[in-house]
Homo-oligomer: A and B are copies of this chain.
Amino acid sequence: PPQALKPSTRVGGVATQFNHSTQRMVAVKAEAGGINPEIRKTEDKVVDSVVVTELAKPVTPYCRCWRSGTFPLCDGSHVKHNKATGDNVGPLLLKK
């Protein structure tokens, strides 16, 4: 079945589609267009700060895919996300 129609943990409503020719209803679970399914959903807006003078390593990757287990850091989860969806997202690299 198409991925977007499967039950999903992503934030989104249940879209209801009418087939007007018969008035029989088909309920379709659909995403509402959000990109963050799980991270800090109790916060109105997830904003993080980095004091760049405190960076420890020559290069530190920060997540932009909202799938990292170590958010706001990148843990490589963008690879799975891109493979599963055909997307092309990746991290922001902070370099000292």
Tell me the A residues contacting B by CB distance below 8 Å.
Answer: 1-5, 10-13, 15-17, 19, 26, 28, 30-36, 40-41, 43-53, 55, 62-66, 72, 78, 81-82, 84-96
Contact = CB atoms under 8 A, between A and B. Distances in A.
What copy number does this chain have within its complex? 2
Contacts of A48: 92-93
B2 A85 contact: no
A17 B36 CA distance: 26
B35 A26 contact: no
B72 A89 contact: no
Q: Which 8 A-B pairs have the closest CB atoms?
A: A2-B15, A34-B87, A4-B30, A52-B52, A35-B35, A47-B90, A33-B85, A45-B90
